[in-house]
Amino acid sequence: MASTHVSDSLHWIAADWGTSSLRLWAMSQDGAVLARAASQDGMGGLTPDRYESVLLALIGDWLPVRPVHTVPVVVCGMAGARQGWREAAYRSVPCAPVAGGAMTPVATSDARIAVSIIPGLLQASPADVMRGEETQLAGLVARIGSRDAIACMPGTHSKWVRIENGQVAGFTTVMTGEIFALLANHSVLRHSVAIEGEDRQAFASAVREMMESPERLTASLFSVRAASLLSGADGTSGRARLSGLLIGAELAAMRMLWSDNPVHLIGSGPLSAAYGEALRIAGGDAVIEMGEALTLAGLRVAYRTMEREAA
């Protein structure tokens, strides 16, 4: 799309700035996407003084040549972390996922942009935090309205969230993804786990095992190694079994949330598919929600809320 067309219709810019990547959308006044941009310049590789130049390198062609008007840039994700562009202080639950007045402004050298960062959420007890996921939750709430819901956001650190009357009532972070990576790559199990591959039968068996006896997790984990030594189980089945044991243990721990409620699984790709399959095996019900679509919907909510509160 020609940059002149974008600059003529540009009203604001949406940004999802994660640990390892940056996604940007040029937005019209009515919330339509005019153009997209992305890079691998995530928070993990930046110092605070580099954020503005990285941003301008991607959106410069969208902006007017002269600062005729200021273009709002609404940012979610790790740019608001303590090590990010500027720390956006957490908001305490229960609360709405996003609130315009709570957004953190960032000073910029370029007068054409006005950057605001969406804060994450905190839970005092049990202690927990999220940053970035609140924007997807805002997108989910915009779609389902005031209905109560349970959301699961699979990832390195999965989030299980209770939504009540349009607010985040509470949440739990589970380190399943990180534990999988540690065990698969840095423990004795690395000799019995393939880099990739799928064995649905081994996965399903492991999920059922954890639903019946989650207290046996650590013993069952070593059985992945023992099976490869004694019965020649291959690395593909080892990987599937390890995944099934860990996801199954997570589902067993969160059973009180999903046993009587459909779960909104936010994300896409193999990991979300694995969670959906595990929930089905365990007797639960999942509704798949596309993560990028909810992120963009949540950024729209944040922008409109900010605009209303400024009026």
- Domain boundaries along the sequence of the chain: 1-121, 132-311
Answer yes or no: same fold for 1-121 and 132-311.
yes
Report the alpha-carbon distance of residue 42 to residue 200 in Å, rounded.
34
CATH for 132-311 (1.20.1060.10, 2.60.120.10, 3.30.420.310, 3.30.365.10)? 3.30.420.310
CA 171 to chain centre: 13
230-263: per-residue pLDDT in tens?
988 899 999 999 999 999 999 999 999 999 999 9
Name the more confident of 101 and 84: 84
CATH for 1-121 (3.40.50.300, 3.20.20.80, 3.10.450.230, 3.30.420.300)? 3.30.420.300
Among the residue ranges 44-48, 84-88, 189-193, 267-271, the one predicted with the least confidence is 267-271
Name the more confident of 8 and 150: 150
Q: Is the pTM of the predicted complex or chain greater than 0.85?
A: yes
Q: Residue 123: what pLDDT?
A: 99
Torsion of CA 165, 162, 266, 17, to 10 degrees: 90
Is the preceding omega at residue 97 within 30 degrees of 0, hence cis?
no
CA 120 to chain centre: 12
